[in-house]
Structure 1
Amino acid sequence: MPYGPSSILGDVLRDERAADVVRKHLPGLQHDMSVQCMHGTLEQVTGIVAGIRTNPAAKEAFYAELATVAETAHQPPPPAEAPAVPSLDYESADVPIGSARLLRQEGATQWRTFELELHGPAHGNPFTEVTLRAEFRLGERSLAAHGFYDGDGVYRIRFLPDEEGDWTFQTFSNARSLDAIAGEFRCGPADSGDHGPVHAHRTHHFRHADGTRYLPVGTTAYAWTHQGDELEEQTLQTLMSSPFNKIRMCVFPKSFVHSTNEPPRYPFEGSLDDGWDFQRPNPGYFRHLERRIAQLGALGIQADLILFHPYDRWGFSDMGAAADDRYLRYVVSRLAAYPNVWWSLANEYDLMWAKDVTDWHRFAAVIGEHDPHGHLLSVHNWVELWDNDASWVTHASIQRAPDDTAEWRTRWRKPVVVDECGYEGDIEWGWGNLMPQEMVRRCWEGVVRGGYVTHGECFLADDDVLWWAKGGALKGESTPRIRFLRAVLDELPADVAGIDPLPADFDVPVGGVEGRYYLAYLGHMQPRRRTFSLRPGPRYRADILDTWNMTITELPGSYEGEFALPLPGRPFHAIRLRAIED
């Protein structure tokens, strides 16, 4: 049987003759897309690869020549792994119940991670053979936190106290020594700066669990925690002086252009040559990740963790259903008690052709069962927008230009975060060589239309360190202008959750709060005046914001009803109207 549209690219490339045909007809594939396309059918692959995607004749010639190659008989894939069922006799009956040594802190503070450390059995494979959880109680309230094995006979259970008072806990485990361990602790008030996890608020916005407003101003550095200490510390130093309060980052290492180096550590025991043992996570890998998450938290930065992605040459994007679920249980149990964590099921879910829609819904259920603190949860797209109507989706995470932000808000009635609108830079591809002015424009457009926009940067470098991939240092001109935007957002009235789109003329988006606050963004346009027609009554102060030169010019006097404002006749300006309080 010859190869054809339904053949899997990875299988085709393992056949030398067929691989030659692919290289001949799809020359751009190996350059930039082969890694993430390995699990796709040729029909899917030819639908996205430049040079053949929109050329029916070229596609017909490719399939015609490929049909002359007989399909090689490949070894069938191994049978799907059956989910492990931990045994009730993991420890023998002579082991005393609750005999594991417990180490714990005496007290806790609200919104700060509280940990139980248990020293117990290490025989067999504790990652798969031992179950552990603890019930935390305060009065009539009860929350369950799942434990995890951290190697060398150490188990940990982490919890994020959300209320002051006297909490109790009790463990439950199939390992007798880890079962029925009980205790109590006093949770005191939150320290200054501890506000708890971020949740959706007032339909389209966000706030921390303690009610503090949160306005996401994010950036992207996918593989920054896979670069070694020197570069990672530089990334943290850069973030410390940046305007960003959220960062998109991958749990797994990433393989793509400008990100081809091997990471210093791997998430599972094994090797690329010998294969991975998906039943044995590497605790050192996850300790490193959680240390970086804690450091981000100390800087006031949310870690938007990408749990799966297609940019993978190690096999982590196609581990099988049982291994996927086990990985999710492990990583969520480890990290859910960190207050600054968000869950992103995937970066570009629609390129992960080894998974289907039912997998993503199952993953969401696994997370929901193991995250007692209800962290934000989203799915990020490549081309096809995810169905954000799903009840477990807390906010829309979008890869598009932000022009349709207001429409997405209306469609899903959830916060909209345009997490990938393009990148400032000078690399080869159009998504990564935006002028800084255009990067800044897109950020303002999304914000005024009622959403939140994530920054990114891709500048070629001799050392191949690009912020978008590896972190390091920011080099572009958009970052200080985004700092200016954040300062404008921070000056919103204290009781305002965020900017909502307001009725406006066809040519200029306007956002704010009706009768109190208006922000009109002019973008590329350069008018010398702008007329407003507002309802009589409230009077406004008017400011002209130069979003590129980062200046604010307050116009004299006050304005009411219908009025015209003078403008400088240059692009990238905004107009801010603030009601004068009596």
Structure 2
Amino acid sequence: MRLHHFRSLLAFVVVPFALTFINSVASAVETVQHRTGEVASAHQWEVIDIGFQVETVASQPVDVKFSATFTNDSGDRLEVPGFFDGNKDYVIRFTSSFAGRWSYVTHSDVGELDGKTGGIDVAAAQQGRNGGVVIDPNAARQFRYENGTSYYPIAFECDWLFALDAENATDIPNTRSFVDSLAKDGFNQIVMNVFAYDVNWKKDERLRPEHEYGHPKVFPFGGNNNSPDHSQINVDYFKRLDRVIEYLDQKGIVAHLMIYVWNKEVNWPAANSDADNRYFDYVVRRYQAYPNIVWDVSKEALGYGHTDVNYIHQRIERLRQGDAFKRLITVHDYSYCNRFQENVDFVSVQLWSSELYSVMRNVCERIPGKPILNIEHGGYEKGPYVVFTGNYTSPEVCLERAWQCVFAGTYPTHYWQGAAWNAIIADIESLAPEDRPRLDYYRHMRAFVDKYDVGRLKAGDKMSNAGFCLHNGDQLYVYYVPKECDFIGIKLPKELMGRTMRGTWFNPFDGTYDNPVDKEIVQWPAFEVPIGEGFRILVLKFQPTVQVE
């Protein structure tokens, strides 16, 4: 049985639901040097790097064919590609989806790297380690971790995350400060680029140099963005990017890694050239073992005339062939996902419509059977600098739109103008309170969706005379009530008539719950909306249906 098939089976594991916030288990990559016959130690769902050295480096060391076949005691086999790591070093980066003994043998067109044997004893997962993100085989709209626990993404876009400490050879203090803020407030996915250069719109004259990450000095190829040597991979660049991906993994945050971006002034090699393929393959080889990776071929994939659908087809196929761990794939382009649904594992949409809930429900109807992430809903929360305004900048309106994505049965992504693009304020706590983003709103969202396991609730049914409903068909009905409503009339199934329901109002802006109110279920029971600004969420609970034998 191939390991990626085993990974799919793992998603069937039933794990009791519990209210959990972002995993903060520290887990740095284990690094060992290969020694023939020796057995290394690792933990399930944690990365181990096995190092190999050569005496003579090839003229194009990145192109050396190098891989290892891993075999476990059950006979499962996994062919893992290796990569050049600079100097005279090569690495096989490996993560096991289950505990037990693995043996490996290497394969290479370089004699010094060929036929090397060794083993790894993989201990059971440490607390908080859940594995990679997969599609729930029992609920095609939902994500799960490999161990079966729920993964409900609340994403945050930070295209230049790679740059925060890219010029710091020894540490990542800015990255830690920024990522810690996001983890504390419930975000568990960051949409980021492998590399971006600069924005093509006018910059705020108030932008301070310490917050400006456009025109980075670092570059993933030889040379620099203005005078590139695309024939060379800058290994040191990727070593520093490793630190970012690893820290996200430690904080339980998925790296939604966009391999390309076309509208951020990057001097890319020609599409499908040897240099292009070398870069693409290197990224896939280097990052596939991280359990917190999901792939995105390109931001703005079909925009700006850089490529066509055939190129994206080819990149996806190349990715699937090169990724031994079968991480999920999407494309930051709704037109592509809509036309070629079978090519992606989940759908990324960019929809800014004012009436967002209905638009997202239409996407669900057009694209059945896949999770849908609104990667860009047109809301860009205001910050100390004007970077890119979109249509909506109020943090309250941005939150409202995010919750409409939730109630449509889809997933939200948040943008803050102080971090989404070239302008990044890494130390959010250093800002005056009035300048800080309202990330706390998303901490309340995280607590709510975890408490009620919102990903399992059904969306789209008309169960009231206003607003939107999520429900499980029996004991739990949850309503998004628009800010315009003073009252909401509830319409419930006839079989619930005469029973008692308990309604509790949730304030999505401060995370508080009002005292519950009990009502008898009549044909059109109504609830008065609490006084206050903004929309509210009503939670209705019922006693379980008694089965009469």
- Give distance in 1, aligned partners of 2:427 and 2:197: 19
2:184 counterpart residue number = 241
Matching of residue 545 in structure 1 with residue 472 in structure 2: no
| Alignment match, 1:398 | 349
In structure 2, the partner of 1:441 is 400
1:427-450 Cα offsets, whole Å, 9 max, x none, are 375416521111010011000110
Say which of 128, 142, 147 aligns to 1:210: 147
For the aligned residues, what is the CA RMSD?
A: 2.7
Partner Cα separation in structure 1 for residue 382 and residue 422 of structure 2: 10
User: Helix, strand or coil: the match of 1:355?
Assistant: coil
* Native 8 Å contact 1:102 1:118 kept in 2: no
TM-score (norm 1): 0.76
Tell me whether 1:271 sits opposite 2:233 in the alignment: no
Q: Any unmatched runs of 5+ in structure 2?
A: 1-33, 166-171, 204-211, 429-434
Which of 234, 241, 266 is matched with 1:282 structurally?
234
Which is worse superposed, 239-248 or 523-532?
Answer: 523-532
SS in 1 for 2:375: strand
C-alpha distance in structure 2 between counterparts of 1:124 and 1:385, whole Å: 39
Larger radius of gyration: 1
1:410 paired residue number: 365
Residues in 1 aligned to 2:38 and 2:411: alpha-carbon distance in whole angstroms: 40
- Cα separation, 1, equivalents of 2:417 and 2:234: 31
1:104 touches 1:116 (CA, 8 Å); kept in 2? no
Partner of 1:424: 381
Distance (Å, rounded) in 1 between the aligned partners of 2:37 and 2:541 = 55
Q: Which amino acid counterpart does residue 451 of structure 2 have in structure 1?
A: E
Alpha-carbon separation, structure 2, partners of 1:339 and 1:353: 33
Report how far residue 311 of structure 1 moved. Answer: 2.8
Say if 1:309 and 1:352, in contact at 8 Å, map to a contact too: no
Residue type of the alignment partner of 1:250: N
Counterpart in 2 of 1:456?
A: 415
Match of residue 290, structure 2, among 313, 328, 338: 338
| 1:525-563 CA-partner distances (Å, limit 9, x unpaired) | 222343333332475321112223432113332543532
In the alignment, residue 48 of structure 2 is paired with which amino acid?
Answer: F
CA spacing shift, 1:469–1:125, aligned 2, 3 Å:
farther
Conserved 8 A contact 1:544-1:553: yes
CA contact (8 A) 2:465 2:490 kept: no
User: Could you say which structure has the greater relative contact order, defined with CA pairs below 8 angstroms and 6 or more residues apart?
Assistant: 2
| Conserved? CA contact 2:476–2:541, under 8 Å | yes
* Whole-Å separation in 2 of the counterparts to 1:449 and 1:307: 29
Letter in 2 for 1:550: G
Q: State the distance in 1 between where 2:110 and 2:342 align.
A: 35
Change in 2 beyond 3 A, CA 1:512/1:327? farther
Contact persistence 2:463–2:492 (CA under 8 A): no
Contact kept in structure 2, 1:500 and 1:512, CA below 8 Å: yes
Quick one: distance in 2 between partners of 1:279 and 1:101? 32
- 1:470 counterpart (418, 421, 424): 424
Instruction: Tell whether 2:161 aligns with 1:224.
Output: yes
> Which residue identity is paired with 1:271?
N
Please give the residue correspondences for 1:18-29 in structure 2 after superposition, counting only pairs within 5 Å: none
CA contact (8 A) 1:310 1:317 kept: no
Residue aligning to 2:245: 293
Q: CA deviation at 1:386?
A: 3.1
* Amino acid corresponding to residue 557 of structure 1 in structure 2: D
CA contact (8 A) 1:302 1:340 kept: yes
Q: Percent identity?
A: 23
For 1:386, what is the secondary structure of its paired residue?
helix
Correspondence for 2:209: none
CA distance in 1: counterparts of 2:109 and 2:100, whole angstroms: 30
Instruction: State the TM-score, normalizing by the size of structure 2.
Output: 0.80
Matches within 5 A, 1:450-529: 450-459=409-418, 469-474=423-428, 475-493=435-453, 497=456, 500-505=459-464, 507-529=466-488
Q: CA deviation at 1:453?
A: 0.3
* 1:253–1:116 distance in 2 versus 1, CA, 3 Å: same
1:579 corresponds to:
542
| Structure 1 residue 209, shift from structure 2 partner | 0.5
Change (3 A) 1:549 1:291: closer
1:549 and 1:320 map into 2 onto residues whose CA distance is 50
Decide whether the 8 Å contact of 2:349 with 2:372 is kept in 1.
yes
Judged with a 3 Å threshold, the aligned counterparts in structure 2 of structure 1 residues 101 and 243 are, in CA distance, closer, same or farther, namely same
CA deviation after TM superposition for structure 1 residue 207, in Å: 0.6
CA distance, structure 2, for counterparts of residue 290 and residue 104 of structure 1:
26
Q: 1:325 to 1:194 in 2, by over 3 A?
A: same
Flag the 1:530–1:467 CA change in 2: closer, same or farther, 3 A: farther
| In structure 1, C-alpha distance between the alignment counterparts of 2:338 and 2:36, rounded to whole Å | 45
In structure 1, stretches of 5+ residues that fail to align are 1-99, 460-464
Aligned residue among 114, 122, 127 for 1:192: 127
CA contact under 8 A between 1:110 and 1:162: conserved in structure 2?
Answer: yes
C-alpha spacing 1:539/1:115, structure 2 compared with 1 (3 Å): farther
Contact 1:159 1:337 in 2 (8 A): yes
Query: Aligned letter for 2:501?
Result: Y
